[in-house]
């Protein structure tokens, strides 16, 4: 007998003696009931699943998740609480980009020496809606089989919902294609960064003897990327997403970093790609991650496309063609560079061993490279930290030619 499939999660009420206080309503009309947590209210977004077993606070503050509702496949979310050090967004003035989160079990009291706040209180403070008691395995199966779903997540402590109105709102949301979300999460003005990576017993340090100056274009920059750049010997100047190539190059950088971020790369690329073309042409060493990888691909003549289920987690295997080694990486993206569209001047350097999608590229005759995954992790393994060293090596070689 064939194994049963889960086309849609069952509409169940996990607590028979209680009315549901939260709902996740998919655009196809599926209603999933549960217990509310975090902020009250409702928000539309795209439902994805994340397979990481740690780092929920870093995930929920990653600007790349703007516009999304995250389903955590790991059941115990919130058990280590929250603190001020594990926030990944570099723009603290911006509202939380993530629209909500879906949990298997209810949030428990924190049990960790670094916990400074209960996770439920932290969600409320950041305006993030959560629903607990969901069959996250069934929901993950639905996404895997049918693709990421548009939905609305709602939390009403009194248990009163207008279900039909929620269905209409979920069905009417246009989705992620064509959305430029980078402008919502980028910094408002330029600033400098010198904080280095966290060390046991010491916390975060400072880069006091930088050898290089890097300009980082903020499309939704994560703090740990900045820390890894500083640790590698760089002082970093962060500039907004709409900064012109002329303004960037006028700062005389040794290298340019193109950051991660949310949304459709083609939409953000409408204003960013022309500037990236100028930066590539200048010959300044350039390194891109995630959305930055996709937009560099567009600037080099490739194309991007929406993925079926995206890649979200801290256990994604990637092959490095240069070394023939396999790295376990952290990923968070719903769009990808189309391999077949890469021009002859660009070489593919990495690929996903989950689905074969492109995960890295380099320009054959210029010091320009990028990866689809997150070498800074946070959360995730540190297999790919060598890419920051590679960037430094390119800047070192380039300085010798000046």
* pLDDT tens, residue by residue, 99-149: 999 999 999 999 999 999 999 999 999 999 999 999 999 999 999 999 999
Quickly state the pLDDT bin for 199 (edges 50, 70, 90).
confident
E strand or H helix at 310 = strand 304-320
On average, the pLDDT of the chain sits at 94
Question: Residue 77 gets which letter from DSSP?
Answer: -
59: helix, strand or coil: helix
- Give the C-alpha separation, 183 to 229, whole Å: 23
Distance (Å) of CA 279 to CA 171, 217, 250, 372, 383:
41, 11, 11, 20, 29
pLDDT attached to residue 21: 97
**Nearest residue to 65 (alpha-carbon basis) of 333, 337, 316, 293:** 333
Mean pLDDT in residue range 233-251: 98
For residue 269, give every residue at least 6 positions away whose Cβ sits within 8 Å of its Cβ, in sequence order, or none.
294, 295, 298, 299
CB 245 within 8 A of CB 265: no
Instruction: Quick: pLDDT tens for 297-328.
Output: 999 999 999 999 999 999 999 999 999 999 99
Quick one: what percent of the chain has pLDDT higher than 70? Answer: 95
Distance (Å) of CA 333 to CA 92, 189, 198, 247:
22, 26, 25, 29
Reply yes or no on whether the pLDDT at 18 is more than 90.
no
- Give the C-alpha separation, 341 to 364, whole Å: 16
pLDDT attached to residue 11: 44
Q: Which residue has the tokens 């009163």?
A: 160
Mean pLDDT in residue range 30-50: 97
Tally of CB atoms within 10 A around 338: 14
- Kindly list the structural domains of the chain, giving each domain's residue range(s) and its CATH number in brackets, ordered by start: 22-172 (3.50.30.20), 182-400 (3.40.50.880)
For residue 106, give every residue at least 6 positions away whose Cβ sits within 8 Å of its Cβ, in sequence order, or none.
35, 37, 132, 133
**Nearest residue to 54 (alpha-carbon basis) of 37, 78, 70, 36:** 78
Quickly state the pLDDT bin for 17 (edges 50, 70, 90).
low
277: helix, strand or coil: helix
Q: Which residue has the tokens 């993925």?
A: 307
pLDDT attached to residue 203: 85
Residues annotated as catalytic (active site), given as ranges:
290, 374, 376
- Give the C-alpha separation, 381 to 383, whole Å: 6
pLDDT attached to residue 97: 87
pLDDT attached to residue 104: 97
- Give the C-alpha separation, 376 to 227, whole Å: 9
pLDDT attached to residue 202: 85
Q: Which two tokens stand for residue 372?
A: 């689809």
Quickly state the pLDDT bin for 402 (edges 50, 70, 90).
confident
Give alpha helix (H) positions in 135-251.
136-146, 163-172, 182-185, 223-231, 245-249
pLDDT attached to residue 93: 58
Instruction: Quick: pLDDT tens for 318-375.
Output: 999 999 999 999 999 999 999 999 999 999 999 999 999 999 999 999 999 999 999 9
Return the sign of the alpha-carbon dihedral for residues 372, 376, 382, 385. positive
E strand or H helix at 297 = helix 291-299
- Give the C-alpha separation, 297 to 346, whole Å: 9
Partners of 36 in the β-ladder: 131
Quickly state the pLDDT bin for 2 (edges 50, 70, 90).
very low
The separation between the first and the last C-alpha atoms of the chain, rounded to the nearest angstrom, is 70
Quickly state the pLDDT bin for 387 (edges 50, 70, 90).
very high
349: helix, strand or coil: strand
- Give the C-alpha separation, 346 to 371, whole Å: 13
Instruction: Quick: pLDDT tens for 62-102.
Output: 999 999 999 999 999 999 999 999 999 987 655 568 999 99
**C-alpha dihedral (11, 102, 110, 35), degrees to nearest 10:** -30
């Amino acid at each position: 007998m064939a194994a049963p499939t889960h086309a849609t999660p069952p509409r169940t009420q996990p607590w028979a003696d209680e009315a549901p206080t939260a709902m996740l309503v998919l655009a196809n009309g599926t209603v999933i009931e549960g217990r509310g947590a975090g902020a009250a209210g409702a928000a539309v977004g795209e439902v994805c699943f994340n397979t990481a077993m740690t780092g929920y606070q870093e995930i929920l503050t990653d600007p790349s998740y703007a516009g999304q509702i995250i389903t955590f496949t790991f059941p115990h979310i919130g058990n280590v609480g929250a603190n001020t050090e594990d926030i990944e967004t570099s723009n603290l003035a911006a509202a939380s980009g993530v629209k909500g989160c879906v949990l298997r079990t209810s949030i428990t009291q924190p049990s960790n020496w670094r916990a400074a706040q209960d996770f439920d209180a932290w969600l409320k403070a950041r305006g993030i809606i959560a629903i607990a008691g969901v069959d996250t395995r069934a929901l993950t199966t639905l996404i895997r089989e049918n693709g990421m779903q548009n939905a609305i997540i709602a939390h009403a402590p009194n248990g009163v919902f207008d279900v039909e109105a929620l269905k209409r709102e979920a069905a009417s949301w246009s989705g992620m294609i064509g959305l430029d979300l980078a402008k919502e999460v980028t910094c408002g003005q330029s600033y400098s960064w010198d904080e280095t990576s966290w060390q046991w017993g010491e916390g975060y340090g400072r880069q006091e003897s930088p050898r290089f100056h890097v300009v980082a274009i903020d499309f939704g920059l994560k703090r740990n990327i900045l820390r890894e750049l500083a640790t590698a010997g760089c002082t970093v100047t962060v500039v907004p997403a709409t900064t012109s190539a002329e303004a960037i190059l006028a700062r005389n950088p040794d290298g340019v970093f193109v950051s991660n971020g949310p949304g459709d790369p083609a939409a953000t690329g409408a204003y960013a790609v022309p500037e990236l073309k100028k930066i590539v042409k200048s010959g300044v060493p350039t390194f891109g991650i995630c959305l930055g990888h996709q937009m560099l691909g567009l600037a080099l003549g490739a194309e991007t496309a929406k993925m079926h289920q995206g890649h979200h987690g801290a256990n994604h295997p990637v092959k490095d063609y240069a070394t023939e080694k396999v790295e376990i990486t952290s990923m968070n993206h719903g769009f990808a560079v189309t391999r077949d569209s890469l021009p002859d001047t660009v070489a593919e350097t990495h690929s996903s061993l989950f689905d074969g999608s492109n995960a890295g590229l380099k320009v054959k005759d210029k010091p320009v490279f990028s990866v689809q995954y997150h070498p800074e992790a946070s959360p995730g393994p540190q297999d790919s930290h060598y890419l920051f060293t590679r960037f430094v090596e390119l800047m070192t070689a380039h300085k010798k030619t000046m």
